Amino acid sequence: MKTKMYKKGAIEQLNAMVVPLLVIGIVLVIGFLVMAEAKDQALSIAGKTSGQMNEANGSGAYNATSDVQNAMADIPGWLPIIVITVIGAALIGLVSMFRA
C-alpha cells in the first residue's frame, strides 16, 4: 500500500517541476512579442523601414529593444537543458523508488 502512495507522490513532484517551466516559456514568448512590437513602433516613429535602420543610425528606442532582444535570445537555449535535468531527476527518483 505504501508503494502506491510513493508513486502518486513521484507524479505530483513531476507536476511541480513542469508547471514553472511552462510559465517561463509563456513569459518568454510574451516578452519576445512585446519587444518585437516595440521595435516596430520605434521604426514607425522614426519613419524608416527595417532596411534603413541599423544600430549605428538607429533611435534610442530601436537600439534599446535590439539590446533587450539580443539579451533574451540566450534564455531559450537553456530551457532544453533544464527539461532534460528535470526528466533525469524524475527517472532517478522512480528508479530509486522501485529499488526500495
81 residue type, one letter: I
4, part of any domain = no
Instruction: Give residue 45's domain range.
Output: 22-99
Question: pLDDT tens digits for 13-54?
Answer: 777 777 888 888 888 889 888 888 888 887 777 776 666 665
Asked whether residue 1 is assigned to any structural domain, the reply reads no
Identify whether 17 is part of a domain: no
The beta strands (E) that lie in 14-94 are given as none
Domain assignment of residue 13, yes or no = no
7 within some domain: no
Number of structural domains (the chain) is: 1
8 A C-beta contact, residue 89 and residue 10: no
User: What is the pTM (predicted TM-score) of this model?
Assistant: 0.58
**Residue 14, domain member (yes or no):** no
* 75 in a structural domain: yes
Length of the chain, please?
100
Instruction: Judge whether 35 lies within some domain.
Output: yes
Cell 535602420 belongs to 53
Mean pLDDT, rounded, of the chain: 75
Query: What per-residue confidence (pLDDT) applies to 49?
Result: 62
